[in-house]
Structures are given as C-alpha cells and as structure tokens.
Amino acid sequence: MKTDKTPLQRAKELLAELSLEEKLHQLTAQMLFNVDESYEKERDPLCGCFRNPGHFMHQNGKISSPGEVTRRINRDVEMSIAAQPHGIPPLEHGESLHGAQWGMASIFPQPIGLASTFDPEAVEIAADIIGKETAAVGVRQALAPVVNISRDVRWGRTIETFGEDPKLASDMGAAMCRGFSKNGVAATPKHFVDNYADGGRDSNYSTHSERELREVYLKPFEACFKEGGALGVMAAYNSLFNGLPAHANPWLLTKVLRDEWGFEGIVVSDYGGVHGVAGAHELAADTPEAVALCLGAGLDVTLHHLAYEDIRAAYERGLLTEEVIDRAVLRLLTVKFAVGLFDQPFADPDEADRLVRCEAHKAAALETAKKSLVLFENKGALPLDRKKIKTLGIFGPGADVLPTGRNYSGPYAHLWEAPDVLSPLAYFRAHAGGIEIVTGSDAEISSLAPRCDAALYFTAVVEGEGLDRSDLRLPSYRVSAARDDAAVIVDKAEHLIEVDQEASILALAEANQNAVVVLMNGAPVDVTAWHEKVGAILEAWYPGEGGAEAIFDALFGAYCPGGKLPVSWMKSVGQLPLFYGYKPSGRGYGYENNDGKPLHPFGWGLSYTAFEIKNAALENSESADGGRVVTVDVENTGDYDGDEVVQIYLTAKHTKVVRPVKELVGYKRVTVKKGEAVRARIPVPASVTHYYDADMKYGAHGGEFTLLVATSADDADVKAKLPL
C-alpha cells in the first residue's frame, strides 16, 4: 500500500482505534517449543510478538527446509491477522548472532571472529546476507548483535561479542545493524547494558560507575542506533550503579536512551527479564508490579512470555496507566510499520528456498572466515609446504566437529549441519591430494606423530552462554555441558571433553618438530604451559561454515592470515580483567611474578609476509565535523600477498580528568601485493578529543593529544607519532 504518511503517523492513527484489550495484548509475546499438531491450539494469536516457530521445527532427526519454515511462519501471521479486530500482524523474532537461527541458514564466524577481521565493510556484507536470510522466512526482528564490551574473558559470552574495545565494537555493531536494517529486519542490540560482573560472572550486577558506562560500555549501543539504524534494543538482566535493574531503570531506558540519544524504537525484555524484577532482584512484590515498574521505566515489549492476566492486573490495580500503555504500543506499532509488516506481512517460500545458502552466500561465508583467522605465533612451521609433506597428522577433540561453535549455532535440539560442510579432519582428507592423513586418539599421539612430516592439533573448549570459566586453560579433565531445557537458544547437549589437551599438545611437540595448534575457541585460553614448545599457533576462533576450507588454505599458504586479536591475551588468569585501554596507575601495573603485560596485545596478529609502515601524515578531513585524516604508506616487503591492519591510537595529557593511556580511534585493513605499496587513509573525527569532565559534562575540555600509528596496542609496535 502506497502512502505518504510516516510509520509514526500510521501508528498513531491505528492506536486511536484500538481497545484497551488489544493494546495490552500487543505488549505480550509467546514462545512454543512443540511445533506439532498441538501448536495452533496453544498459540495465542492476539499476542503482538512471537518467537518464530522455525527455531523449533528441526527435531527428531528432521530438518525443515527454508520454504517449510516460511510456510509455517506465514500461517502464524495469517492466524494473527484473522484473529485481531484490526488485523495487526505479529512481529516474529529470532536470533541472528552469526547466522539466521531459524534453521540451517548460512553461518558466519562467531562475532569474536568477525571482530578479528578489523573490516566493518566485510562484516556489513555478512550482516546483509544474515538479514536477507532472516527476513526470507518472515522473521522481522533479530535479537542481535551483542555489543557488550568483554574486558574479562572469563565471561562465557565473550564469544558473542566484538571484544574489549569500544571503537571496534561500535563499528562492528553498527555494521551488523545496517546489514539487518536494509532488509526490513529490526536489529536489536543487546544486552543493555554491562551484563557481567567481576570474574566474568554472567548477568551479575554491574560494578561500573556512570562515568565508566558512558566512556566504555554505552558507546557501542549508541553507535548501533545513530549509525546502524537499529529499531530495537534488549534490556540486560543485571542491575546498575543506581541500584535498579536494567529492565526497570528510567535513567537507562528513558534518560539516556530516549532523551539523550533520541531513540524511537522498541525496548524488549530479555527472556523472563520482567519476572526477574520480582524474582531475582526482589524489587517488586509480584509480576504485575514488576510489569508496571518496567513499562514505567521505558520498557515496551515483554519477551518471551508474559501472561495477559498479569499485565491486565497491573492496569486494574492502578499500577499501570493507559498513558504508559499507549506509549509502548505506539512504539511497537511504529516499528511494525517501519519494517513493512503491514504492507507485506507474508514471505515467499520459493524465494526462501532459492536464497538461503545460495552459492553467493556460501562464498561470502568463506571469505569472511579467511579474514577472521589470526596467525597467533609462528616459529617457521607455517605455511606448510605441500611439496615436502607426504604425511600429515591430525589430532585433537576439535578436529572432527564442524567449526561453527555451539553457541547460537543451529535451531533448538538440533546442531547446525549441511551436507556440503565438512569438519576440518574430513575436509583435509578430501582435499589433501597425495598427502596421507594420519589420525588417532590423543593417547596415540606419541606413537603416530613421529612418522608424520607435520602434525596438527585442533583444540576444544566448553564455553558460551551460561558457561563462564574460572580456569582458562584448555580443558584437561573430564568436562561436559548438558542441555538445560530452559536454554532455548544454545544447545549444550553432549558437549564432552575427556582428554588432557595440554598434555596432548606437549606430547605432540615432543614427537614432531612441526607441531601446529589450531585454536577453536571463543575467548582466550591460557597457553603458557605449551605455546613455546610448538611450531605455530593459528587462532581460528569458530570460523563458521567456510571454516574448514579457510583453515586448510591458511595452513598451506594459499592465502596469508591477516586477522588481529580483538582482545588482550593474558599470560595467566590471575591478570584478569585485562585490557589495553586502562587508566594510569599511581604505582605500577606489574605483579610479583610478571610485569602485568599481556602475552599478546589487542590488535596483534602475525603474517607470512612483512610490511613497512612509513610516511605517516595528517590531513584535514573534508567532513563537516572538522576531523583529520591519517595517511600512511603500507609496503609489502615480503614474499606473499597479504593484509595489514593499520591502527590509530589516541593518547592524552594535561586534560581536565584522567584519561585512558591510549584509545583506538581509527584503523584500516589493507591488502598489499608482494613488492607493492598502498596508501591508507584513515579518518579520525574531531570528537576523539571530547570527554566527560569532573561534572560529567561532555565536550571539548582541552588537553594535549597525540595520534599513534601502530600495528597493535603495544608501544613497541608504534610506527609514528602525530600531534593532533
């Protein structure tokens, strides 16, 4: 339907026609686990939002096609439109962390790997594909990206994040949101805000001050709204510095989000988050009171299920006014109009079958996987020489599993799979040509590895949502994670590690001088016991469906790894929390037994080739904000084509308040052929010199600022200093 009216105008007109009962139903959501003959009987078509049923359609060995998922969601929409007096279509939501999670859609690297690309343009391409495959089946709200800053990597959900840095997380989060938004999908960054505590404890109360929240943890969310066009945001489970849970926090949901940032989308609860205001936090006496506190603070939609009777009771008891109800409903209706739900409520099953995991999408997943790999250490063992290797050993618990990571990969009760995607071991067997692949249990390493020309060890870690870790060594004992029936997003079933991986790696290094470790993980692991013993370490993270091929090509030198670490890599767990952007210490940074520095810094990553960074200079920017542009020549002086990431850090002194010792303010990933050079242009906005003063007023308060041109956050990697 063509109209000159804005989504807000259309929403206001519709709101004026709704009864109180219709309004209250719009603010509720439903999720059903069993998509069977009982589904339509249990589904309440009056709810305004639903967890898409595609997430639950792949059980008992059956995988539903994209077209089948689309038809099921279309039927959902049809039921709701028919049952509602004003024919309002439902907003079907789902996860799209690194792939549309309604089924077996294209799957990209886990977000920690996306961050390692240091390439927002590549991430936006990936998000565009994820957005297309999310919308293709009729899912129009993505509960992603996760833009929480991970500065204590014991947090199990580090895998879902873009790492420790506000600038990198802001760029990656905004890129993801743009990719979703251009496909009519309401991006919903989460978890708003700061949802883990000391020790990496998930959803524990925030210990950070308002200053710390504004300087670090809120920045990526602001970028998602202002630069990414996100139409939603999910509140976090934790409480904040002012003593209120995020779900019922007017400072967060109204003052900052609405009044300061001008956000006009919807705030949704985390699953059960409203109930937690009465339960976990014990702030409210019961659920109706919790509903009133949350909606009054600025929450709009309650996921995944809130009984209509509870929200009705809040109104009838005088805890919830119709003014607050109208405000929330108006926001939800505006979003529904904005994403085109009223104009095009149904998706095309045939188009879904054609689009999802088409050849172009699979090719993009492979290219993104290649960009995400980080050459962590190399003593000359890599790249492997196919002409010299006749026998290759492959060992470890991560060798024969799909490199997608279990976290937010695949639908409920069924791990992600595809007939054309192989585990690393299977891929090497299929593509190694005349190289003999030798494999066996870890117990057989000492007998099998000596006869191999080179040997690989693929690690495994139990981590993810609800799996915070106090020990960051590779599991060296029997460890497992059983499925929690309440964990509807993450499949933890049968995740079992029984081998002593550290002992196995040491045995491999002893048995074969060309031992290479391929890390399959979502957060740093403690490598101090063995990293000096092996010939090389490739950090693969969980690179997604193109991962096995990307790893194979990287190890054999078909391309040059160019990813960089999005987190500081600790020497031991005792250094945590550890991040490069700390504020000056009054005494020092070290410990009795080490200097306090990371094993490898943020932004670190090796290459098979060598680069020279030279001729750094500052130019005035043509942008209206009065910023500057750093120009620098990057020359490839080695023997391989490769990528380098030029990083720009800001240092400050003589400011009105204490500032971090350095902050990332710009970066550029460039591809340079061997023997050639390229000029990189890296914009630095004028706002990098703005900060909060002692009275928490934001602005240009003065100081002396210098830009550092570097290849990591380590001072030893600084190539030039430019006064700003």
Q: How confident is the model at residue 491 (pLDDT cuts 50, 70, 90)?
A: low
- Measured on CA atoms in the order 6, 12, 17, 22, is the torsion positive or negative? positive
* pLDDT digit string, tens, across residues 605-617: 999 999 999 999 9
Q: How confident is the model at residue 641 (pLDDT cuts 50, 70, 90)?
A: very high
| Cβ(643)–Cβ(669) below 8 Å | yes
Mean pLDDT of 251-266: 98
pTM of the model: 0.97
Instruction: Say if residue 7's pLDDT is above 70.
Output: yes
* pLDDT digit string, tens, across residues 658-696: 999 999 999 999 999 999 999 999 999 999 999 999 999
Q: How buried is 38 (Cβ within 10 angstroms: 0-12 exposed, 13-18 middle, 19+ buried)?
A: exposed
Higher pLDDT, 291 or 493: 291
Mean pLDDT taken over the chain: 95
High-pLDDT (> 90) share of the chain, %: 90
Mean pLDDT of 339-366: 98
pLDDT of residue 476: 76
Mean pLDDT of 143-167: 97
pLDDT of residue 484: 60
Instruction: Say if residue 282's pLDDT is above 90.
Output: yes
Task: Name the nearest CA neighbour of 650 among 701, 580, 548, 552.
Answer: 580
pLDDT of residue 488: 57
Mean pLDDT of 342-354: 98
- Delineate the domains of the chain, giving CATH numbers in brackets: 7-354 (3.20.20.300), 373-566 (3.40.50.1700), 611-723 (2.60.40.10)
Q: How confident is the model at residue 624 (pLDDT cuts 50, 70, 90)?
A: confident
pLDDT of residue 139: 98
pLDDT of residue 120: 98
Instruction: Say if residue 477's pLDDT is above 70.
Output: no
pLDDT of residue 406: 87
pLDDT of residue 495: 64
Instruction: Say if residue 483's pLDDT is above 80.
Output: no
Helix axes 359-372, 120-135, angle to 10 degrees: 140
Mean pLDDT of 555-562: 97
Higher pLDDT, 583 or 488: 583
Rounded to an integer, what distance in angstroms lies between the CA atom of residue 616 and that of residue 596? 31
* pLDDT digit string, tens, across residues 79-107: 999 999 999 999 999 999 999 999 999 99
**CA separation, residue 477 to residues 375, 480, 496, 498, 501 (Å):** 27, 10, 10, 6, 9
